[in-house]
Structure 1
Amino acid sequence: MSTVPKDVTGRELKVGQRVAYQTTGEGKGLALAEIIKINPKTITVNVKHWNDKYLTRPFSGVCIVEDRP
């Protein structure tokens, strides 16, 4: 049985959406990234900081960021 991936607020996650996620380390905060892949229990996002190119986060660890009209 396959479940529909949902963000922390219950909205369906899709490739190409922009999401906010919590960063790690001493400079904890929020960062924005684009979903590039949906895995069985996590998503992979494209990041543009540090040496990382991609990060994985659990579905409940991200929140969709809507574009303003």
Structure 2
Amino acid sequence: MATEDPAKITAQLVELRVEHRDLDQAIERLAADLQADELALKRLKKRKLRIKDMITALESRLIPDLDA
């Protein structure tokens, strides 16, 4: 497996964290609206969870494998 560029991974992490934060704010605004579309709210929450999983996966790629 080829060595991945940590700078590219870090840049992806920054973008995903910004998107995750933005989704969090959008979810809060939508949840505060009494006439909010529940389906849209669920989709935003699912997308936020997928982004969180992507962030976790990228963070684990930055940690070097250690031979035990």
Name the one with the larger helix percent: 2
Q: TM class by shorter-chain length?
A: under 0.3
Comparing both chains, which one has the higher relative contact order based on Cα–Cα distances under 8 Å and sequence gaps of 6 or more? 2
Work out which of the two has the higher radius of gyration on C-alpha atoms and give 1 or 2: 2
Name the one with the larger strand percent: 1
